[in-house]
Structure 1
Amino acid sequence: MSENETAAPARPTDPIHWKVVIDCADPQAQADFWGAALHYTVEDNNALIEHLLKLGALPPEATQEHNGRLTFRDLVAVRHPDDLYDEESGTGLGRRLLFQRVPEPKTGKNRLHLDLHPGAERRSAERDRLTALGASVLEEVKQAGGEWLVMSDPEGNEFCLH
C-alpha cells in the first residue's frame, strides 16, 4: 500500500481473523510437533525479538534460543506455509496455531480438538508418522458413520485422525 492509500474501513460483515491458541507446558516442543504433524512452518520471530530487545521493550528473560534462533519464551506459533505472513515480524496472517505456556498441567479431556483428514488410504501411514513424532494412539473408533483414531500429542492433547 502506498503512502497516499488507506485501508478500507472494516465492515460489520467482514470475516474475523482468528487463530487457535493451545495452552501447554513447552510451547517450542509443541510447535515443533504440530509444525511437523501438519507440514506447517514454525514462525520465525527472531528479527522481531532482536528489535524489541534493542528497544528495551522486551526483557531478555522473556526470550530463549531454540533451534539456533531467538524465540519468545512463553509462546510460539505455526502457520500454513502457503499463507501470507509479515516478513518483519515473522507472524502469520492466515491459518495459525499459537502455543502459549501456562503453569497448570492438563487435567481433563479437551473441549476443542483438531481433526486431521489425510484420507482413509493414508490413515495408517499418517498414524505411523505421527507416533514417530511423539503422538500416541488412544483409541481406534469404528462406527457406522466411519472409522478414525483418537490420538494425543506429546503433552496429551487429544486429536482425531480420520
Structure 2
Amino acid sequence: MTQASAPQPVPTPTVAPLHWKVVVDTADPHAQADFWAAALGYLVEDHSPLIERLLGLGAVPPEIVVESHGRHAWRDAAGVRHPQDPYEKESGTGLGRRLLFQRVPEPKTVKNRLHIDLHSGGGQLETEVARLTGLGATVLQEVNEPSGRWVVMADPEGNEFCLH
C-alpha cells in the first residue's frame, strides 16, 4: 500500500511579474472608454500631450487623430486607468490597472470568452444595476444560486460582464 504524498509547495516564479492591460475590441473606442470609466470610477487617459508633440514633429498624420473631451485623442484607441495608479505624464498612458479599447472593423458576434466581474458593496446590487443601466448597460440575466447572486450584464456594445 502506498502512502499519500505530502502536498508539494507551489514553485515561486523566477521571472519578474509582467505588466498587463485588458484590451477590448470595439466599434467606438471613445464611447466604450467613457462607459467603462464611469462604470468603474476610472479616468479616461489623456494622450493629448503626446499626440500634440507627435503632430508638431510631423511624426503622425492628422487623420489618425480625433477630438474627444475637447482634446486630441487617437482615432482608433482609448484607454481608462485607475485614478490612484501611476501613469506616464508624457504620454498619459496608465502603468497600473487599465483597460484599452481598440477599434476593429468587425462587429461582436459571439459570447465573450473573457469577461470582467464587478463587485458592488454589500446590499448595493440593485443600486449598481440601476446606475450601470443608466450609463447604457443592459441586463441579460439575473442569477440566484446557492453559490451566490449576481447579474449578467452587457456594455453598450454587447460585451458581457457580471455584477456581484
Q: Same fold (TM over 0.5)?
A: yes
1:115 match = 117
Counterpart residue number, 1:15: 17
Task: Compute the TM-score of the two structures, normalised by the length of structure 2.
Answer: 0.90
Report deviation, 1:88.
1.1
CA shift digits 1:7-29 (9 cap, x unpaired):
xxxx9521100000000000000
Unaligned runs of 5+ in 1: 1-10
Superposition pairs for residues 1-162 of structure 1, below 5 Å?
A: 13-162=15-164
| Structure showing greater Rg | 2
- The two structures have a TM-score, normalised by structure 1, of 0.92
Q: Secondary structure at the match of 2:78?
A: strand
Aligned-partner SS, 2:158:
coil
Q: CA deviation at 1:56?
A: 1.3
Range 111-120 or range 141-150, more displaced: 111-120
Within 2, Cα distance between the matches of 1:82 and 1:124? 27
CA distance in 1, matches of 2:141, 2:101: 25
Distance 2:14 2:147 in 1: 38
In structure 1, C-alpha distance between the alignment counterparts of 2:58 and 2:104, rounded to whole Å? 25
Unpaired runs of 5+ residues, structure 2, are 1-12
Partners in 2 of 1:97 and 1:65 — Cα distance? 20
- Name 2:4's counterpart in structure 1: none
Question: How many aligned residue pairs are there?
Answer: 152
Give the C-alpha shift of residue 37 in structure 1.
Answer: 0.1
Structure 1 residue 160, shift from structure 2 partner: 0.1
Structure 1 counterpart of 2:70, which letter?
A: G
Distance 1:145 1:120 in 2: 16
SS in 1 for 2:25: strand
Query: Identity of counterpart residues, as a percentage?
Result: 65
Q: Once superposed, what is the RMSD of the aligned Cα atoms?
A: 1.1
Deviations 1:45-89 (A, max 9, x none): 011000111111111000000110110000010000000001111
Amino acid of the residue matched to residue 125 of structure 1?
A: T
Query: Matches of 2:122 and 2:104 in 1, distance apart?
Result: 35
Residues of 2 paired with 1:133 and 1:69: CA distance? 22
Residues 73-116 of structure 1, C-alpha deviations (whole Å, 9 max, x = no match) = 00010000000001111111101000000000000000000000
C-alpha distance in structure 2 between counterparts of 1:65 and 1:49, whole Å:
11
